[in-house]
A = this chain, B = another copy of it.
Amino acid sequence: MSATIKDVASAAGVSFKTVSRVFNGEANVREATREKVEAAARELNFTLNTAARNLRRRGSNLIALIISNPSRSYIDNIQIGAMDWCSRNGFHLVVEDILARPESFEDLIKSGEMAGVILIPPMSDDPDILSALTSHHIPFVRIAPETDNDIAPSVRIDDRAAAREMTQKLIALGHRRIGLITGPNNFGVSRNRRAGYSIALQGAGLEYDAELVREGAFSYATGQSCTAQLLDLAHPPTAIFASNDDMAAGAIAESYKRGIAVPHKLTIVGYDDVAVASVISPPLTTVRQPLKDMAARAAELLLERIRDRDSAPKHDVLPHSLILRASHGPRT
């Protein structure tokens, strides 16, 4: 059906090995020969057969992004960054939801079909997943793991510092009772962000009040419900720090429902700086993490590992920043 390397070879009057050389950019092909081969290939509309190449090379041009994360907007950004990198580097991105059907993930890694795997929270910290990947010798990279280690490279922002800075900002605004809506506890980032929050409180001589800390699930709905709980407190907070923007959006909605104006009566800030942050009203003050860049960088580090499996894993920390929009204000 489709032309093979041998068809091109005989059309160009060279051996099929020479055609292989041309298509792999190998050295030592005379310019005239190269052109002959390229012309013949164009003529026959030839492309290398990936299955054959993968079989022979024991390689692959596929990178898997494993998801399960409840926050679609987070995934969207990561996926866009990864897809973009892949298309620039001769790879394609396979997206696999590990919650939907774990067996499918098993197959994926056992079959050796993937050149490498990108993990996002909470998979970045899931021991079963990490050991499955390790035992099958699949190169992988972790985005935002709780802590670095020697088994795989990672890309992150300094969540602890970012959460500390945002909390300090709220304290500087005069807030003394600051609610924290965390992500689920199996997310390393949740723990790191809570740690940053604690450190800031401690630095300001404020007491950590467990009542003010609620565990959400990174969803709009849990942002609402946690906010409801916080506002129902005998001494409700004057500021709420949600660990992602979806939950912050839910928090704002809950406040409005109760007739509590944001930011005049209540300050609400988020985390991530995804699309929703600039679109809701009021626009959200939030921690920006460069998710697309993080994903692209992760893919880059993954490729280094694929190329040289014994290289020491690199750990990149990308810069975060506080985006001060309109959902924060001084304590009133």
- List the interface of chain A (C-beta within 8 A of B): 1-2, 45, 47-52, 54-55, 58, 60-62, 64, 72-73, 76, 79-80, 83-84, 86-88, 90, 92-97, 100-101, 103-104, 107-108, 110-113, 137, 220, 249-250, 253, 256, 275, 279, 281
Contacts and interface: CB of A to CB of B under 8 A. Distances in A.
Nearest to A220: B279
A58 to B, nearest CB: 8
Contact of A101 (B88, B113, B220): B88
B48 A111 contact: yes
Contacts of A249: 279
A193 to B, nearest CB: 23
B60 A51 contact: yes
Nearest to A110: B47
Given A51-B54, A72-B275, A93-B96, 20 more contacts: A2-B112, A47-B111, A47-B112, A49-B55, A49-B112, A50-B112, A50-B113, A51-B55, A51-B60, A51-B112, A61-B113, A64-B92, A80-B97, A84-B101, A87-B100, A87-B101, A87-B104, A88-B104, A92-B94, A93-B94
A79 B137 CA distance: 29
A228 to B, nearest CB: 16
A64 to B, nearest CB: 8
Sorted nearest first, the 3 A-B pairs with minimum C-beta distance are A87-B104, A51-B54, A47-B110
B281 A253 contact: yes
A111 B50 contact: yes
A60 to B, nearest CB: 7
A102 to B, nearest CB: 9
Contact of A97 (B84, B94, B111): B84
Nearest to A279: B220
A72 B83 contact: no
Contacts of A111: 47-50
Contacts of A60: 51
A51 B256 CA distance: 56
Given A49-B55, A110-B47, A97 B92 contact: no
Nearest to A61: B113
Contacts of A49: 55, 111-112
A101 B80 CA distance: 12
B96 A95 contact: no
Contacts of A45: 110
A81 to B, nearest CB: 11
8 contacts: A47-B107, A51-B60, A55-B55, A83-B95, A86-B104, A90-B107, A92-B96, A93-B96
Contacts of A279: 220, 249-250, 253
A110 B48 CA distance: 9
A55 B110 CA distance: 18
A89 to B, nearest CB: 9
A36 to B, nearest CB: 21
A73 B274 CA distance: 13
A93 B108 CA distance: 11
A130 to B, nearest CB: 17
Contacts of A51: 51-52, 54-55, 60, 112-113
